[in-house]
Amino acid sequence: MAHYLSLALVFSFSLFVACSFVFLVSGTYLLMFKIDKANRLLKHPYLAQRTFKQYKIGIRMTIVLDYFLRLTFPHSTVWLAGSANQLLKHVDPDSIPTDVKWPIMGLWGSCLFGMIAMVTLWALLIRGGVN
């Protein structure tokens, strides 16, 4: 059993590192090159009051999270995805080009999988996966 735990430890660590890399690359690309186009296409209601750059980083990432949830779960009516779908009901996810979708999906998708990998990694370390 210890052999399987060490393999799971290596896999979860590798997945966590890969997710961190994807997060950095997608986030950098999105915020440097594609955020203006994404905001123009997706038209978040918060942007009616201020420009994207006038908001603090936490609210900026919340706006991008709403974009992610709308593009990933377009028919959801519950929890955060339902709220994002209400805010962005005017957006047709199929009409958004891939050059805008992939950095948004990479940024928040890698966060989701990275958190799962991190929790798994910590659980394995606590369990005693390192011999």
Segment 48-74, tens digit of pLDDT: 999 999 999 999 999 999 999 999 999
67-91 per-position pLDDT tens digit = 999 999 999 999 999 999 999 999 9
88-121 per-position pLDDT tens digit = 999 999 999 999 999 999 999 999 999 999 999 9
DSSP annotation of 93: G
Q: What is the pLDDT of residue 131?
A: 56
- What Cα–Cα distance (Å) separates residue 73 from each residue in 3, 9, 118? 38, 31, 24
**Do 30 and 104 form a contact (C-beta atoms < 8 A)?**
yes
Cα distance between residue 27 and residue 15, in whole Å: 18
pTM: 0.90
